[in-house]
Structure formats: structure tokens, C-alpha cells
Amino acid sequence: MNKFIRPFIYVVVGLAILGIGFKLITQTQAFFTDLLITVGFVALFGAIAYFIFFKRRGMGGGGSNEMKRYRQAVKQSKQKYASNSSPSLTSKMKPSNIKKSSVKGTKAKAKAKPKAKRASSSHLRVIEGNKDKKKDRASS
């Protein structure tokens, strides 16, 4: 099958090149006019297809209902986890504690610092299981 198709394609392309060359030599103005009209129609149909395709997929304008819901979910998730994330250590320290520690000097360094409370992760949950049962590692 490939033996017959390949020469046929070569013949068609060769005749097309021959016809374009002949028209370019004999009717130059008509050739460029036809070329511009063809390019214009291709651009017009391409633009129409582009806008129809993206409007149908919901990319143009406000977007589809599904995309709106997805963006809303992302926004809520960012708000939720931004408020739960632990602030930096400097924002946890009160200004009064900072002044006292700088005034006291070495005595403040000797005292143990209070542990900062950790924010609980709301997306993690405890799975109930056999917590009381311990492995006897010596016998195994």
C-alpha cells in the first residue's frame, strides 16, 4: 500500500508547485491577491474556531461553573491553612518579655524559655486502635 501512496503524493505536490510557479510567472497580481484572500479566510476561520472552542470550554469571560467552584475551593483552603499556620517566633514573644530579657542580660539566658504552643492540625485525625497492647520485643 505504501508503494502506491508515496509516488502519488510526490506527483500531486510536484504538480501543485508547478501550477503555483506558472501562475506566479504569468499572473503575478492575481496570484498575490488570491494568496492574501486565502490567508485572510484562514485567519478568520481560525479566530472563530478559537473563540468558539474556548467559550465552550469555559475559558473565556467568567468561566464555567466547575472552574468557579474549583477557584472558590482553592481560596477557602488557602484561607483555612493560612490562619492555622503557626506564626513566627518573634510574633509569639510579647514586647514586655523582650525588654525584660535584654535588661536582665545573662540571668534571662539562664532561665528556661517557655515552650511555644503548637497549633493543632485540623486535617489530621487520630485513628483508634490497640494503644494499650504493647509488643513483647524480647520474645520475638
Section 8-33 average pLDDT: 95
Whether pLDDT at 40 is above 60: yes
Distance CA 111, CA 132 (A): 37
Contact 10, 2 (CB under 8 A): no
Of the candidate ranges 12-16, 17-21, 127-131, the one whose mean pLDDT is the lowest? 127-131
Higher-pLDDT residue of 98 and 69 is 69
State the amino acid at position 46 in one-letter form.
G
* Cα three-residue angle 60-66-71, rounded to 5 degrees: 80
Q: What torsion do the CA atoms of 92, 96, 101, 102 make, to the nearest 10 degrees?
A: 110
DSSP H or E run through 54: helix 28-57
3-state secondary structure of 2: helix
Q: Say how far apart CA 28 and CA 32 lie, in whole Å.
A: 6
In the chain, domain spans: 2-79
Q: What is the pLDDT of residues 43-88, one digit of tens each?
A: 999 999 998 887 776 555 556 688 889 999 999 999 888 876 555 5
* pLDDT at site 104: 52
